[in-house]
Amino acid sequence: MTTAISAHTGLLGVLGDPVRHSLSPAMHNAALAALGLDWVYLALPAPADRLAAVVQGLEAMGCRGLSVTIPHKQAVAALCRQLSPLAQRVGAVNTLVPLEGGGWFGTNTDVEGFLAPLRHEPWQGKRAVVLGCGGSARAVVAGLVELQLTSITVVGRRPNALEAFATGCADWAPQLRTQQWQPGSLGPLLASADLVVNTTPTGMASASNPAAAGACPLSDAELLALKAGSTAYDLIYVPRPTRFLQQAAARGCRSIDGLTMLVHQGAAALRLWTGRNDVPVETMTAALETALATPG
């Protein structure tokens, strides 16, 4: 187990703004120690107006790989020498891998992370509703297309954003449709859904706004429309569970939070950086759970 940083220690990190709240260092450093690698993973603040300089500087320093989080997942794509077909389809990059000869290969492991808790059951012929139409929703839809659902409905409050979302997915998501999200309007849609995924930040707690944990993306009437036996999936993992998942469980739904997605997207990235398949997912999960339980 690696216990000290030396002059030979390899560097990994996560770029974001802000990024000091990230739990990824706890998860990845636990995995690196378990793998016996003399590498360290750091949170690396990167203001938007300095992103290119940061990415180029880390390449010059021999950085072994980078995670990318809000708000840089789209902008960083333009800084990559190569993009995976998935990253091009999703329109977002969350993982950078150094290329032999220089430059970065950009890909997206959020899709693999999202799919991890869903792959063990058949989804062909089923229906999904996705709450929100931002970048995370693009990764979710890409995953749902892979699962071969019959119907995927993305709901959002901004007509222009919904239109852009539909246009961006038109070539690879033929079962996608969009619907404007009017207050309390989703009851009939939710009543027929086998899977409901929240990609919005509503209900996410933070140190600066702990009261946000009491919020829910769905109204009380919409929650009552959820079908018993369906699956509710919230990309949020603070708090655990969110109010959305609490209410969904009370309706007889299976609930999944975002911790599994965080672990598995990180594990997929670590496999790319290290070339190893023995990434310790259980160790990463335990490290995250410990970090979440630790005040501050």
**For 172, which DSSP code?**
T
Does 88 have pLDDT greater than 60?
yes
Question: What pLDDT score does 152 carry?
Answer: 98
Question: What pLDDT score does 296 carry?
Answer: 61
State the catalytic residues: 73
Q: Has residue 55 been placed in a domain? A: yes
Does 250 have pLDDT greater than 90?
yes
Cα separation of 272 and 98, whole Å? Answer: 10
pTM: 0.91
Q: Has residue 158 been placed in a domain? A: yes
Cα separation of 197 and 154, whole Å? Answer: 10
Average pLDDT over residues 244-264: 96
Q: Where are the beta strands (DSSP E) in the chain?
A: 10-16, 39-45, 65-68, 82-83, 95-98, 104-107, 127-131, 151-156, 176-180, 195-198, 231-234, 254-256
Q: What is the mean pLDDT of the chain?
A: 94
Question: What pLDDT score does 183 carry?
Answer: 85
Domain count, the chain: 2
Burial code (b: 16+ CB inside 10 Å, e: under 16) for 8-17 equals eebbbbbbbb
Domain check: are 142 and 241 in the same one? yes
Residues 53-77: pLDDT tens digits? 999 999 999 999 999 998 899 999 9
Closest C-alpha to 115, from 142, 134, 88, 89 = 142
> Which residues form the domain of 223?
112-257
Q: Has residue 5 been placed in a domain? A: no
**Which tokens is 254 given?**
């299976």
Residues 1-11: pLDDT tens digits? 446 899 999 99
Q: Has residue 264 been placed in a domain? A: yes
Q: Has residue 34 been placed in a domain? A: yes
Cα separation of 144 and 166, whole Å? Answer: 15
CB 63 within 8 A of CB 98: yes
Domain check: are 196 and 85 in the same one? no
Domain check: are 116 and 253 in the same one? yes
Question: What pLDDT score does 198 carry?
Answer: 97
Average pLDDT over residues 245-251: 97
Residue 48 CB coordination number (10 Å):
10
Residues 178-234: pLDDT tens digits? 999 988 899 999 999 999 999 998 998 876 667 677 899 999 999 999 999 999 999
Question: What pLDDT score does 134 carry?
Answer: 87
Average pLDDT over residues 93-104: 97
Question: What pLDDT score does 1 carry?
Answer: 46
Domain check: are 287 and 232 in the same one? no
